[in-house]
Amino acid sequence: MDCEYYSSCLNSEKCYRCFDNSLLKLPIDKKLKSMKKRNLNSFKDNNDEKSWKKLEQDVADKLNCIPTVNEARRTRRSGGLWFEQGDIKDTVLHPECKERIGTLLKSGEKSLTIHKSWIEKAKSECINTSKFMCLPFRFKGDSNIYTVIDFDDLSSLVTLYKSYVLDNELKDKEIKRLNKQLNKLQK
């Protein structure tokens, strides 16, 4: 095979079905895996099992703010399938959603720990794609959704946004100029 991961990939027998490393599954160190399990389950509220699904759906709905495009959707088993990673399937972002109760501080405010392992996992799932990693999170019972995003990715998105705004302004000016020419020709 032409794949550089053929010898180390756990799905090497499915290599003929793999496109653009979509089925790539590298072995994980057992010690790292047990640490991840401990970190992910540390602040979960076991009383309300369905609230994380609502968080994922809320994030997908907000990503679909263009009325004619319905591209973001929740993934099956919340990204638990090896061939469909991430909590939400989107063409630009790779969201990995987290919802926690939070710790109550002495001041009475809630605090949430963002584990580096969460960020590294989401980043590793984005390596073979052109998507931007983001980590949307919220406190249980709160409607506000916050996100963690790599600063380089944020600057790329802002630059892209600014270029689209500038491009639209130039197109508007060109349309006005062409309308004036058309009006002159019609007279």
DSSP 66-115: STT----EEPGGGGTBTTB-SSEE-SSEEE--EEE--EEPTTS-EE----
Topology, domain 42-149: Trna Endonuclease; Chain: A, domain 1 (3.40.1350)
Write out pLDDT tens, residues 13-66.
Answer: 777 777 666 676 766 655 455 555 544 444 444 445 677 777 777 777 776 665
Q: Categorize the per-residue pLDDT at 92 as very low, low, confident or very high, splitting at 50, 70 and 90.
A: confident
| Domain chopping of the chain, boundaries | 42-149, 151-187
pTM value? Answer: 0.53
Q: Does pLDDT of 85 surpass 80? A: no
